[in-house]
Amino acid sequence: SEVTQIETLIDNLTRSVQLLSSDIDSEETRVRVRDVADPAYPILAQHLRSRRANLNMTIAALQARLQAARARENRYSESLAG
- Using the predicted structure, report yes or no on whether residue 78 has a pLDDT greater than 90: no
**Cα(47)–Cα(72) distance, integer angstroms:** 38
Q: pLDDT tens digit string along 8-17?
A: 999 999 999 9
**Cα(68)–Cα(19) distance, integer angstroms:** 28
pTM of the model: 0.84
Measured in whole angstroms, the distance separating CA 63 from the mean position of its chain's CA atoms is 10
Q: What's the mean pLDDT in 5-30?
A: 98
- Using the predicted structure, report yes or no on whether residue 82 has a pLDDT greater than 70: no
DSSP tally for the chain: helices H, then strands E: 2, 0
**Cα(56)–Cα(60) distance, integer angstroms:** 6
